[in-house]
Every structure is written in C-alpha cells, then in structure tokens.
Structure 1
Amino acid sequence: MKKQSYKNHVRFYPAHHFVYYPILIVFLGISVYFTITSAEKLVWGFITAIFVYLFWLAYMLRQHYALILQNRIIKAEFRYRYFVLTGSPFEAIEYKYTEDQIFALRFASDAELLPLMQRALVENLSGEDIKQAINHWKGDYNRV
C-alpha cells in the first residue's frame, strides 16, 4: 500500500464513484434532455425527479452511516492514544477542540501530537491547517 500523506489521503470507492455515479449522471442528463425537448414533459419531468432522488439517496446513504461510525471510531482511538501518551483522559479537554481539529490531529505522529494540539488551541487552527502543519504523517489506511 502506498504511504499516506496530505496529498493522497482522500479515498475513492471505484464501483460507486467511477461506475454508479457516472451511469446515473448519464441517465439524469438524458431524462433532463427529454424533459426539455419532448412533448411528454410531465412524464419525463417525473422520470428526472426519480433520477435526482436516486442520486441524492445513493450519496446520502453511502455517506451517512459510514461517516458517523467512522467519526465515533476516530474519537475513540484518539482518546485512547491521548491517554497512552499523557496518562490522563482526553475527555477532560475534548470540549476545547472541534471535531475537525480532532480528525486532523489523528494524522500527527506521537512526537508531534501534543505540541500540535497546544498550537491548535492557541492559534485556533482549522483541520486543514493542522494537516498541513504535520511533518511526520501517521496514515489512516482503514477509512471508509
């Protein structure tokens, strides 16, 4: 597996991103075309609405459950990692950090984590700023 970094940490699901969505977009485009050009505008408008709904539903279902579960797992792993490094529970200070900051901090190496956490609080760094500040990237290769 290729070593993960800021530039390549986005992950695609080929069947979904490169097969299902393109086919759905083509069908949606065809139905929009026929809605505009056909005498049966109501029928084609209904078909277009169905394709729009399928597109939205596929996106929302795929993302929703996986991301909620992934976020819970990341937080649990981060709490454990913080406890291992400091001996104190992260829950005591967790409220100071946004989810975006916590999700970005997980990519920091153990040596960088605590100083970067302090910097994130002092400078109010965004998740993107935190990711870009990481020198020794700790890859997350099991994301959904």
Structure 2
Amino acid sequence: METQHYGNHRKFYAPHHFIYLPALMVLEVFGIYKICSDESNQLTWILFSVVIFLLLYLAIMLRQHYALGLQNRLVRLEFKQRYFELFGQRSDEVEEKLKFDQIAALRFAYDDEFKELLYRALHESVSGDDIKKSIKKWKPDHHRV
C-alpha cells in the first residue's frame, strides 16, 4: 500500500465518482442538447433534464451528507480518546476551542507532533490545512469513507 501523505490522502469511491455521476452528467448534457435541437419534443426534454438534474443533485448530497456526518462524529470521538490517552483528562474544553477542520487535521499526526500541533491550533489559530502541511511524519488513515 502506498505511503499516505498530504498529496494523496483523499479517497474516491470509483462506481460513484467515475461511473454513476459521470453518466448522470452526460445524460444531463444530452438532455440540454435535445432541448435546443428538438423543438417538437422540447417540453419532454426539459422534464427529462430536470429529473436527471434532481437525481444528480440527490446522489451527491445524500451520499456526502450521511457519510461525512458519520465520519465527522467518529473523528471527534477519536480526538476525545486520543486526548485522554495522551493527557489523562477529558477534552471537552479543548474541543470547544477547536474548529472541526483542526480536529480532523490533527488525526494525521503521530503523538509527539499531535501535542505540538494541538498547542499551535489552540494558541495560533492555524487552519486545518496548515496543520496538515506542518506534519513531518504522516499518520495514514486508510479506513475513511
């Protein structure tokens, strides 16, 4: 398995990202083309295009909404557990001061860097993306949605 780092940490689901969504986009473009070229059935092609657009929109939004909502919840739980293991105390006050992108970025750092980057996140308000870019030794996460 390839070593994970900032440049390759995003994950795609091939059937969804490279087959289903492109097929819907092609159908949408085809429907728009037919609206312009087939004047006798224009209303039918408008309806076709609207239905395809709604399917495309729902496919993107529902998949993202459920998967990311659950993943975000798990990331927060992981942060709480890790904070407790490293510092021996609850993380509620610390977690309230952090934005989610900072919490998510911290999970890619090993324990020694985690402490340093957590301090920077709390006191310097560095963004999650800057935290990721600051990580010297990347802790991979191959189990994300």
Quick check: TM above 0.5? yes
Residue 89 (structure 1) aligns with: 90
- Counterpart CA distance in 2 for 1:104 and 1:19 is 30
Q: Give distance in 1, aligned partners of 2:100 and 2:109.
A: 15
2:65 matched residue in structure 1: 64
Identity of aligned residues (%): 47
TM-score normalized with structure 1 length = 0.96
**Residue number in structure 1 paired with 2:13:** 13
What is the match of residue 4 of structure 1?
Answer: 4
Q: 1: CA distance between counterparts of 2:4 and 2:45? A: 46
Where in structure 1 do 4 or more consecutive aligned residues deviate above 2 Å?
Answer: none
1:3 and 1:90 mapped to 2: Cα distance? Answer: 30
**CA RMSD of superposed structures (Å):** 0.9
> Counterpart of 2:132?
131
The farther-off stretch of 116-125 and 93-102 is 116-125
Q: Identify the range of structure 1 (114-123 vs 99-108) with the bigger mean alpha-carbon deviation.
A: 114-123
Could you tell me which residue of structure 1 aligns to residue 113 of structure 2?
A: 112
TM-score, with structure 2 as normaliser: 0.96
Work out the CA distance in 1 between the residues paired with 2:98 and 2:36: 50
What is the Cα deviation at residue 92 of structure 1?
2.4
How many pairs were matched up? Answer: 144
Which blocks of at least 5 consecutive residues in structure 2 are unaligned?
Answer: none
